[in-house]
């Protein structure tokens, strides 16, 4: 007896060791059960799927993601004893064998769900050896995995016809819903389908599919799992399915999302219906745009920075428009879209307020840009300069704040501007002389919706909300009102928030931008050619703004339908107040003060009223001129009898040509005393020729000798001035007056101007005939 026990024990140990070694040498081929990667929206509906190397689409699911009705139908119909057997059910084998022998044909099977899973993982031909191998693999799976793990493998790998595997992919493909939403009728249909996926495809053979479904329903009634009423109602549902659903939304973003996470199911914050609407909007716009132009649109909910819609190109399948190129993440020149940031920083730094006097006038040296309309306005307020996107005032602010400091401030908020190779931070940054992507630009604009804090975009549901301090809430609030065109405090209504936006056009009309901020969303739009080729007549206001308005109208309609119009209040921060200021000083003065040449009502930050900025290149004065008058009110020397000290608020000298004659310095100062005249200023402001002519300028005239009349003037200096053309005196005029000269002959010209103080300046230019 002991010998038998020893032999039995040895045999048991031998078998166990052998099975253990075989299990290690021949593991189940789970490496072949890789799931597809699928990108889903915020409500878990598929946006895009990436099939495996065999082109099979699987939507990864877990048991908790499946309708209880489907699990009941599957286990009842396929394997009622699933949770009790060891992978093979001996009773089922005996039953099937007896039934098949008596019937003389195969009428019943004995495969358990575990055996079916084993065959899915390692297909084999129908043979005795194949069946034995299948049973061994089933027991191996039971050895290695829990019942729920095996069931999960089956749920994700069961064949449902064509390239669809798993209940998740099948539910979306055939029914357009999650497997958790399956009805009893749909659960029975999905249970029957894997029996013969090709023959029972409901979209092709609805009658055969319905018969198979009803067979499952009969089994559910027979075993008392579902009651008669449930089964009857399920059978009354006809099988009529639309064409198979294939997720085809946000293809460009879906590809990008693969780099954001290793998850098989990539859950995003995309709103599927909004995404579809914007993609349709893009497709409808193709006929209105240049054949090679693409379009990118981005919508972000600024309350939590979740990305709701991401259109990376106008048409993913249009190769002529480089539809595969993601223009949301592409680095491009932003044009004027960076201007609001220099205004916000200048306010935050105490350099300006909303009505500060800025200079829209030509710069004399260094970086000398022009405005988009090739004209100048002279004296402008900060709010008007920003709302009209004037270039020279923005450059003036950048010069005062500092390009390096500007880039560093944005970089500290995770907004990194890309300079051209070997370039250093410079004034051109503010007009688009750097690179930035649409998504980073939209992120930067969150400062004006989130109290001065910049927050990165949240693409995925798992992304955390992060914020970086950029400017004070008050500076951001004032800048936002300036952007909306409602900087005048008289327009302020508590709780009311207008749509604010900024446009931009890069050099050569290569890129057109529009960024808008509503009560709930930040909208970003870019149009242009992905290859960087210029597009004639393409600029932000003409090509990008119409899409911005269209998107905003659509979003407003959605908010109306959702009763969300009043979800955001425009609360004025405590650091913001209102004060009357005067030009040209930019500071508060009494109304009857002679230095208050124009009164403005301004939003101020931290109760500061900074004085007018004077350009170091153009103005040597500090903004005030001290002089003395005698008893007659005439300008005298300081040592004269009864001399009274007075101060005169100065306009920046660069604005002289645009000032009314009564505002020019020579007109505002009293006449000089004849008995005790003032000392002469031995250091007058430098005089320079300005406007649209400088050294090496080439003017052209048409073949019919059409006259050319360039507008030329000078700034600085003192008193009258004399103009000489090629050494010949042509005219004498006063300070700030234009020289209108007609040129009808080709040739090289030298223009010289001399003022009363002896200062002079000259330019040389060429007039050519158009050939």
Active-site annotation holder among 313, 336, 446, 714: 336
Q: Chain centroid to CA 46: how far? A: 22
Cα 586 to Cα 359: distance, rounded to the nearest angstrom: 13
- Provide the 3-class DSSP secondary structure of residue 505: strand
- Using CA atoms, how far residue 249 sits from 39, 50, 207, 543, 550, in Å, is 9, 12, 32, 24, 20
Among left, alpha and beta (phi > 0; psi -120 to 50; other), residue 313 is beta
Active-site annotation holder among 36, 67, 72, 78: 78
Cα(first)–Cα(last) distance of the chain, in Å?
Answer: 121
> Nearest Cα to 331, choosing from 436, 456, 407, 441?
436
Among left, alpha and beta (phi > 0; psi -120 to 50; other), residue 179 is alpha
Backbone angles phi, psi at 465, to 5 degrees: -85, 120
**Contact 344/406 with Cβ under 8 angstroms?**
no
How many C-beta atoms lie closer than 10 Å to residue 732's C-beta?
Answer: 11
Cα 116 to Cα 679: distance, rounded to the nearest angstrom: 108
> Nearest Cα to 624, choosing from 587, 659, 654, 577?
587
Cα 753 to Cα 759: distance, rounded to the nearest angstrom: 8
**Contact 448/475 with Cβ under 8 angstroms?**
no
Cα 451 to Cα 576: distance, rounded to the nearest angstrom: 12
Active site residue 336: yes
Angle between helices 113-121 and 147-157 (to 10 degrees): 50
Active site residue 78: yes
- Using CA atoms, how far residue 91 sits from 75, 79, 85, 219, 436, in Å, is 17, 12, 10, 19, 69
Pairing of strands 164-165, 57-58: parallel
**Contact 283/54 with Cβ under 8 angstroms?**
no
398 by Cβ neighbours in 10 Å (0-12 / 13-18 / 19+) ranks as buried
Pairing of strands 306-311, 294-301: antiparallel
Tell me the HSE value of 537 on the side-chain side, using a 13 A CA sphere.
Answer: 3
Known catalytic residues are: 78, 336
């Amino acid at each position: 007896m002991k010998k038998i026990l020893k032999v039995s024990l040895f045999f048991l140990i031998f078998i166990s060791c052998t099975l253990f070694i075989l299990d290690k040498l021949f593991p189940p081929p789970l490496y072949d059960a890789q799931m597809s990667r699928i990108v889903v929206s915020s409500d878990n509906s598929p946006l895009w799927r990436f099939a495996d190397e065999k082109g099979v689409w699987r939507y990864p699911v877990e048991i908790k993601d499946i309708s209880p009705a489907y699990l009941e139908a599957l286990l009842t119909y396929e394997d009622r004893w699933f949770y009790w057997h060891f992978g093979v059910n001996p009773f089922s084998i005996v039953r099937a064998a007896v039934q098949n022998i008596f019937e003389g044909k195969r009428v019943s099977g004995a495969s358990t769900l575990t055996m079916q899973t084993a065959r899915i993982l390692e297909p084999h031909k129908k043979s005795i050896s194949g069946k034995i191998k299948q049973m061994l693999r089933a027991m191996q799976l039971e050895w290695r995995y829990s019942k729920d793990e095996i069931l999960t493998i089956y749920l994700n790998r069961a064949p449902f016809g064509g390239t669809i595997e798993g209940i998740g992919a099948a539910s979306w493909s055939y029914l357009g819903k999650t497997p958790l939403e399956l009805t009893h009728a749909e659960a029975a249909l999905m249970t029957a389908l894997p029996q013969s996926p090709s023959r029972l495809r409901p979209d092709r053979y609805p009658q055969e599919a319905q018969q198979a479904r009803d067979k499952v329903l009969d089994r559910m009634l027979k075993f008392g799992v579902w009651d008669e009423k449930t089964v009857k109602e399920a059978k009354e549902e006809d099988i009529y399915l639309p064409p198979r659903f294939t997720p085809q939304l946000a293809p460009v973003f879906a590809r990008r999302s693969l780099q954001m996470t290793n998850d098989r199911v990539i859950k995003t914050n995309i709103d599927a219906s909004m995404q579809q609407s914007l993609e349709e909007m893009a497709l409808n716009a193709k006929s209105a745009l240049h054949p090679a132009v693409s379009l990118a649109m981005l919508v972000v909910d600024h309350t939590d920075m979740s990305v709701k819609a991401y259109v990376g190109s106008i048409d993913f399948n249009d190769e002529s428009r480089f539809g595969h190129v993601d223009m949301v993440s592409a680095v491009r020149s932003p044009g004027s879209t960076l201007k609001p940031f220099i205004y916000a920083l200048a306010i935050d730094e105490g350099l300006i307020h909303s009505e500060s006097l800025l200079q829209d006038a030509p710069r004399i040296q260094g970086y000398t840009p022009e405005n988009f309309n090739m004209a100048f306005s002279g004296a402008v307020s900060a709010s008007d300069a920003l709302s009209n996107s004037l270039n020279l005032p923005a450059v003036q602010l950048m010069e005062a704040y500092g390009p390096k400091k500007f880039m560093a401030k944005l970089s500290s908020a995770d907004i990194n501007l890309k300079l051209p190779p070997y370039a250093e931070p410079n004034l051109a940054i503010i007009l688009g002389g750097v690179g930035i992507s649409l998504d980073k630009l939209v992120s930067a604009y969150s400062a004006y919706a989130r109290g001065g804090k910049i927050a990165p975009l949240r693409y995925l549901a798992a992304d955390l909300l992060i914020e970086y301090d950029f400017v004070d809430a008050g500076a951001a609030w004032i800048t936002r009102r300036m952007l909306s065109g409602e900087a005048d405090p008289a327009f302020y209504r508590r709780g009311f928030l207008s749509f604010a936006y900024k446009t931009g056009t890069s050099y050569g009309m290569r890129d057109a931008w529009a960024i808008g901020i509503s009560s709930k969303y930040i909208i970003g739009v870019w149009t242009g050619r992905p290859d960087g080729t210029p597009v004639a007549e393409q600029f932000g206001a003409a090509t990008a703004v119409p899409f911005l308005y269209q998107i905003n109208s659509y979003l407003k309609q959605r908010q109306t339908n959702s009763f969300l119009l009043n979800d955001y209040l425009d609360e004025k921060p405590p650091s913001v107040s209102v004060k009357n200021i005067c030009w040209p000083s930019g500071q508060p003065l009494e109304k009857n003060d002679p230095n208050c040449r124009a009164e403005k009502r301004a939003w101020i930050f931290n109760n500061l009223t900074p004085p007018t900025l004077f350009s170091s290149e153009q103005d040597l004065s500090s903004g005030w001129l001290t002089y003395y008058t005698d008893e007659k009110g005439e300008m005298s020397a300081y040592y004269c009898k009864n001399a009274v000290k007075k101060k005169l608020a100065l306009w920046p000298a660069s604005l002289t040509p645009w000032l009314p004659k009564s505002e020019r310095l020579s007109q505002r100062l009293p006449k000089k005393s004849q008995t005790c005249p003032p000392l002469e200023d031995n250091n007058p402001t430098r005089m320079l020729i300005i406007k649209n002519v400088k050294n090496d300028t080439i003017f052209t005239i048409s073949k019919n000798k059409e006259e050319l009349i360039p507008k030329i003037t000078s700034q600085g200096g003192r008193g009258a001035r004399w103009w000489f053309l090629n050494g010949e005196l042509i005219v004498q005029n006063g300070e700030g007056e234009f020289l209108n000269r007609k040129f009808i002959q080709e040739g090289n010209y030298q223009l010289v101007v001399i003022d009363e103080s002896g200062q002079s300046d000259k330019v040389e230019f060429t007039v050519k005939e158009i050939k």
